[in-house]
Amino acid sequence: MSGISNEELVQKAVITADALASAGKLNPAQSDRFIDFVIDETVLKDNARIVRFRNETLEIDKIGIGKRAAVPKAEAKDPGVRRGVNTSKVTLKPSEIMVPFEVGDNFREVNIEGDAVEEHIIQMFATQLANDLEELYLIGDKLGPSQPEGDLVEGGSATDHVKDSYLALQDGWQLLADGGNIVDAAGQNIGLSLFSKAIRSMPTKFRRNKAALRWFMSPDLWQLYLEKLSTRATTLGDSAAGGGTQGPFGITAVPVPLWDFQPLTVEHVVLNGTTPVALKNAPVSNLVATPDDLGGTPTTPFILDTDYSVDEAAGIITRIGGAIGDGDTVKATYQANPQLILTHMNNFIVGIGRDVRIEKDRDIFKGLNQYAITAKVAVEYEELSAIVKVRNIGTGV
């Protein structure tokens, strides 16, 4: 695909107004080109393992040795043992997503691009789909964070909340990394000491090849690190000030554009009496508590200092009473302090179904063309023990 622009790639994937098949299903070659485009538009291009599938679930075989294989050798004597291999599977369960949109006749006719604007719009939605997928891969959480309705729906309420059903489709890498090796920075600011703790928390067998390791973090967290380095009166400081520094300890850093500096986090917490409950992160900010069964109906959140209290610095929520009953479970959605992940570049797994559909229909009564891009996606890690997650990083330099 070298030498082909993203726009050409989309066009070659037959995402044009005139060339859409009536059935809407792309043929294998078209589907592969579309998937290439979706991946090339994100930071995943060179930092994830892309698996294409057609089944409802996908199982990836893992094989390894695990323990010592060598044994002492005695002259003319059978050692009496045989070593085997460990096998296991990583299962990906895809979720189906759709990008529905419409292009009205009047808009198409009066727009300066004329009929060409329709193809331009289609390409824009394909690019937005790539961004939306990266967001799901990163911060997806099946609990479903609560969001102001207006953040998800045009004209929605700015105060009433709904469950973000899109992010609830899959558990993303930030959440899945909780099953790996955890380093609690406890407010320590980003720096070489923290990076060193992360490396030492990874099992030795996974860190022998540093060229294959990657630091994944938000662009703002990476900028804080560069700012800290730039204040040093050294060659490394000068390099950081010029933006040319390598990653800490020879490991490549990958700032992920859609990774928020203080990522959105959701927990379901049982509140008994007035007993304080510790959240998994501290400090926290902008915590909103809603019923745990929050759905698509706009709902007024519980009232801070009437129904519950929060100690943001300590990451503690406490029931006061009011609308929260004794023993109730609440959905706590908040912003956590910065995080970073250390792992192998191909430990991220992205599953994308080959049965991609790009369908077009006509609403003659409204005078518009309707489109829908449909695909199936899944996200996982291949090896959880090869992940280090650093959380609760300080927000200073």
Closest CA to 48 of 341, 387, 375, 380: 380
Tell whether 279 and 313 lie within a shared domain: yes
Predicted confidence band of residue 59 (pLDDT cuts 50, 70, 90): confident
- What are the CB-based long-range contacts (under 8 Å, 24+) for 279-282? 279/315, 279/316, 279/317, 279/332, 279/334, 280/178, 280/315, 281/315, 281/334, 281/336, 281/337, 281/391, 281/392, 282/313, 282/314, 282/315, 282/316, 282/337, 282/392
Tell whether 270 and 366 lie within a shared domain: no
pLDDT-above-90 percentage for the chain: 47
For residue 189, give Cα distances in angstroms to 104, 258, 339, 371.
51, 21, 11, 47
From CA 275, how far away is CA 326, in angstroms rounded?
Answer: 10
Tell whether 279 and 162 lie within a shared domain: no
Q: Is 328 exposed, middle or buried (0-12, 13-18, 19+ CB in 10 A)?
A: middle
Q: In this structure, what token pair is assigned to residue 358? A: 């790009």
Q: Which domain holds residue 46?
A: 6-58+92-170+347-385
Q: How many structural domains compose the chain?
A: 2
In sequence order, what are the beta bridge partners of 20? none
From CA 382, how far away is CA 92, in angstroms rounded?
Answer: 10
Reported as a single tens digit per residue, the pLDDT across 80-139 is: 766 554 556 778 888 998 888 887 777 666 665 556 666 677 777 778 888 888 899 999
CATH, residue 164:
3.30.2400
Reported as a single tens digit per residue, the pLDDT across 296-317 is: 999 999 999 999 999 999 999 9
Reported as a single tens digit per residue, the pLDDT across 60-90 is: 766 544 556 676 777 777 777 665 545 567 7
Domain membership flag for residue 223:
no
Tell whether 111 and 135 lie within a shared domain: yes
* pTM, full prediction: 0.80
Tell whether 299 and 378 lie within a shared domain: no
Domain membership flag for residue 237:
no
Our CA dihedral for 68, 71, 72, 73, rounded to 10 degrees, sits at: -150
